[in-house]
Chains A and B, each alone.
Chain A
Amino acid sequence: MAATRAFDLLLAPSWQASEMERPGAVVLPVTGAAILIAIWGFASLHYDVTILPSPGQALEEGIDLLAGGELIFHALASLQRLLIGFLIGCAIAVPIGFGMGLSPFFRRMMEPITEFFRYIPAIAMVVFALIWFGIGEASKVFLIFYNTFFSVALATEAGVKHISQVRIDAVRSLGANRRQVLQFVVVPSVVPYAIQGMRMGMGRAFATIVSAEILAANSGLGFLIFSSREFSRMDTVIVAIAVLGVLGIVIDRLFRRMTRMVGGNYLPSEMG
């Protein structure tokens, strides 16, 4: 199932031409956002600022937080955790995914582990992480790692399983030994799958960062959200959510660009 899912993602429209090239590329999204902000503005007229601040009040708070440096401080704290956990996750998941794809022996051994943890969300692991890794950075990094690992490992495995036998035969009859088959066919074939797994993993890791920062932290966007609750600073909460959303979009766009740059030519012709 993991295999087909990774496959579907490969076929997703992110491979196609940039969305900016289509007609209405700017007008339509701007209209959508404007409608949301209008509804929010209208609703805020009826509520206290501690329940629902107006867009203007939120903007003002955003500018204050930005000028005071807090916003950047918290965003950087979250991003740093995200990046460290993500990189460790990829560094371990890619070789394990390769191993699972290449060796049925290793796959059978790993399968109970991957199948079991696939459906356990990171938030269920929060307490476990706190007890084992403490209230410092390590527990947050662990949760990000946890989320990255399974997506990337399973996608890499799927990539190895989908390698075309004809291409392997082709390089073998050009004289390739086992190591060269890996170098010239297996590794490049897996690249687009691994990148898609990383993109998925990053999405899930992003969703985790807030929960990781809820319980014990003194920095990060999640911390900003939860500490604001105590003072009923809904404007701060909204600013933090907005920054999270923007960061998420930016990171996903970066991945898309990367897949197009690196991955485009790695795709089999029937997919490109």
Chain B
Amino acid sequence: MHAAEFIGVKKQFGGRGEDPSPPALENFEVAIREREFFCLLGPSGCGKTTALTLLAGFEMPTAGQALHRGQPVRGPSADRGVVFQGDDSLMPWLTARDNVLLGPRIQGLEKAEQGEIAERLLKLVGLDGHGHKYPRELSGGMKQRIQIARVLATEPDMLLMDEPFAALDAQTRGQMQDELTRIWSSSRRTVLFITHDVVEALILGDRVGVMHAGPRSSIREIFPIDLPRPRDRTDPELLKIYRRIQEILAEEVQRSREG
């Protein structure tokens, strides 16, 4: 069984009748394997975030199915932890530590266990000693680390990451990619990672699914990246795939302009 699967998914936004916008996704199909790091890559507006919200359960497909372990997704669940693009998903009234502990508290974990979890995860994301700080006292990169720690605290079956590093400066972004590789290697959960950054997808992913330009978007081609981690951004093998994907993306952007 696949960790997650999209079967014949169509997603159309907007009310019925008035001004029906074209569907964001149509015939969207992809199967994500157990313990795989899957990157969904595409030009902006191609509906890659839409695919994630369907698997997260924030939205329902108009047609077709989003499956998690063979079961249709009916709503959000702690099985599928989400890391959001913006850091405004952190609670500004809670310290970093209390933000990390949101999930365990929602699940009613014992106080003693909570303490252990907070220490372990803050350490894992490299923020031990910063637990008492509030989000506004933390940098963009640190806030995304807190988001990652928060989502790991509930030990989800799967991680859904929606361009989590897109808002960071280039240097921090690179650092965060290396950190995520390290964190992921230690726990090996299934990840669906959304990005528009080709290098990011190649550094992180086991496979990279490149999407058509939207609307009515679907997967155009899937690239397996069989390179050992941590990966070198200048690896000739990686650069070869990089060039190929860039060509595809250029084609897609061109096509959508003529579209």
Query: C-beta contact mask, A223-266 vs B, less than 8 Å → 1, else 0?
Result: 00000000000000000000000000000000000000000011
Q: Is B112 an interface residue (CB 8 A)?
A: no
- Is B57 located at the chain interface by the 8 A CB criterion? yes
- Stretch in B41-49, B87-95, B122-130 touching the partner: B87-95
A174 contacts the other chain (CB 8 A): yes
Q: Mark B189-201, 1 if CB is under 8 A from A, else 0.
A: 0000000000000
Bound Cα distance A188, B93 (Å): 8
Residue picked from A167, A173, A188, A270, most chain B C-beta under 10 Å: A173
CA distance A224 to B75 in the complex (A): 63
Contact A175 B106 (CB under 8 A): yes
Contact assessment for A265 and B84 in the assembled complex, using a CB-CB cutoff below 8 Å: no
Q: Is the interface of A mostly helix, strand, loop or mixed?
A: helix
Q: Mark A165-196, 1 if CB is under 8 A from B, else 0.
A: 01101111111100010001100100100000
Among B56, B102, B160, the one with the most A-chain Cβ atoms within 10 Å of its Cβ is B102
Which B residue's beta carbon lies closest to that of A176? B106
Q: Is the CB of B103 within 8 A of A174?
A: yes
Residue of B82, B88, B106 touching A180 (CB-CB under 8 A): B106
How many positions in chain A have a CB within 8 Å of any CB in the partner chain? Answer: 23
Q: Is the CB of A269 within 8 A of B106?
A: no
Q: Are A265 and B93 in contact (CB under 8 A)?
A: yes
Asked if A266 and B106 make an inter-chain contact with CB atoms under 8 angstroms apart, the answer reads: no
Cβ of A164 under 8 Å from chain B: yes
A266 and B95 CA atoms in complex are apart in Å by 11
Among A164, A166, A167, A173, contact of B78 (Cβ-Cβ < 8 Å): A173
* Contact yes or no, B93 A174, CB < 8 A: no
A267 at the interface (CB under 8 A from B): yes
From 49 to 79 in chain A, residues with beta carbon under 8 angstroms from any chain B beta carbon are none
Residues of B contacting A270 in the complex (Cβ-Cβ under 8 angstroms)? 88
- A265 near B154 with CB under 8 A, answer no
Which residue of chain B has the shortest Cβ distance to A167 in the bound complex? B89
Structural contact, A169 and B82, CB atoms closer than 8 A: yes
Closest to A270 in B: B88
- Whether A173 touches B77, Cβ cut-off 8 Å, given contacts A167-B88, A265-B134, is yes
Contact A164 B88 (CB under 8 A): yes
With A169-B82, A188-B91, A188-B93: A174-B58 Cβ-Cβ less than 8 Å: no
Cβ of B234 within 8 Å of any chain A Cβ, yes or no, is no
B107 interfacial by beta-carbon distance below 8 Å: yes
A172 to chain B, nearest CB (A): 4
Closest to B87 in A: A269
Contacting A at CB under 8 A, from B83-142, are 84, 86-94, 102-103, 105-107, 134-136
Contact in complex: A184, B102 (CB < 8 Å): yes
- CB of B81 within 8 A of CB of A173, answer yes
Closest CB of chain B to A177's CB: distance in Å? Answer: 8
Residues of A with C-beta under 8 A to B94: 265
Q: What would 17 A/B residue contacts be, using CB atoms closer than 8 Å?
A: A164-B88, A166-B84, A166-B89, A169-B84, A170-B89, A173-B57, A173-B58, A173-B76, A173-B81, A174-B151, A175-B78, A265-B92, A265-B134, A266-B93, A269-B92, A269-B135, A269-B136
Given contacts A169-B84, A175-B107, A268-B92, 18 further A-B contacts (CB under 8 A): A166-B84, A166-B86, A167-B89, A169-B56, A169-B89, A171-B106, A173-B58, A173-B76, A173-B77, A173-B160, A174-B151, A175-B77, A175-B103, A184-B106, A188-B91, A188-B93, A265-B134, A269-B87
Question: 7 closest A-B pairs (Cβ-Cβ)?
Answer: A175-B78, A172-B76, A174-B103, A266-B93, A170-B89, A173-B76, A269-B136
